[in-house]
């Protein structure tokens, strides 16, 4: 409760780094012991400033939610809601929410049509529309192209 809106960047990066460490090796006790704290920091950041940094918090939820049970604040429904919230917060200036959704939700559901639609939306973002996000958009679009090329390995049936 002592954390305020000014602390959201710290909460985001602490949460993202702990979740990243856990994703590298979910069987590492040192990484897994910080999982609950990482989720709590993310939830606190969302409560303080949900649209911070063009929806970066929502994007982290997109990536995390499909791997967590609903009882722990996860699930596909939450990821889909976070995707819509991230898109609204980004205002069309960020490609990364589309890439996160395609890789985290669409692949898991084996929904190739939604996967392709999301990645095409990512590729349609103009990287030069917002100079502060140019590099991030270029990287996200590179990932979108890589994912589209990898579709035959990611999906059992392509439509």
pLDDT, residue 48, reads 98
Q: Are 8 and 16 in contact (CB under 8 A)?
A: no
Task: Decide: pTM greater than 0.85.
Answer: yes
Residue listed under structure tokens 């780094």: 17
Backbone angles phi, psi at 61, to 5 degrees: -65, -40
Q: In which residue are the tokens 């939450």 written?
A: 78
22-38 tens-digit pLDDT: 889 888 888 888 888 99
Q: How far is CA 5 from CA 9, 28, 70, 100, in A?
A: 9, 32, 27, 25
Instruction: Provide the residue count of the chain.
Output: 159
- Convert the pLDDT of each residue in 38-88 to its tens digit: 999 999 999 999 999 999 999 999 999 998 888 877 899 999 999 999 999
**Measuring CA to CA, which residue among 15, 67, 6, 60 is closest to residue 37?**
15
pLDDT at 159: 67
Q: State the virtual CA torsion across 89, 94, 98, 104 in degrees, nearest 10.
A: -80
Q: Report the distance separating Cα 81 and Cα 66, nearest Å.
A: 12
H/E stretch holding 132 reads none
Q: Is the Cβ–Cβ distance between 125 and 94 less than 8 Å? A: yes
Over the stretch 85-131, which tens digit does the pLDDT of each residue have?
Answer: 999 999 999 999 999 999 999 999 999 999 999 999 999 999 999 99
Q: Output phi, psi for 71, to 5 deg.
A: -65, -25
pLDDT band at 1 (very low <50, low <70, confident <90, very high): confident
In the structure encoding, which two tokens stand for residue 22, read together? 């856990």
Residue 147's nearest CA partner among 100, 83, 77, 82 is 100
């Amino acid at each position: 409760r002592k954390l305020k809106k000014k602390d959201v960047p710290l909460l985001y990066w602490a949460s993202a780094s702990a979740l990243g460490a856990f994703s590298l090796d979910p069987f590492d006790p040192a990484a897994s012991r910080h999982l609950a704290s990482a989720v709590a920091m993310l939830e606190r950041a969302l409560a303080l400033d949900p649209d911070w940094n063009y929806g970066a918090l929502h994007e982290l939820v997109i990536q995390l939610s499909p791997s967590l049970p609903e009882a722990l604040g996860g699930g596909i429904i939450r990821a889909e809601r976070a995707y819509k919230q991230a898109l609204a917060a980004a205002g069309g200036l960020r490609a990364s929410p589309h890439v996160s959704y395609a890789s985290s939700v669409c692949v898991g559901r084996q929904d190739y049509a939604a996967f392709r639609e999301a990645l095409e939306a990512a590729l349609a973002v103009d990287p030069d529309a917002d100079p502060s996000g140019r590099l991030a958009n270029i990287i996200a679009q590179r990932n979108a192209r890589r994912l589209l090329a990898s579709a035959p390995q990611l999906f059992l049936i392509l439509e």
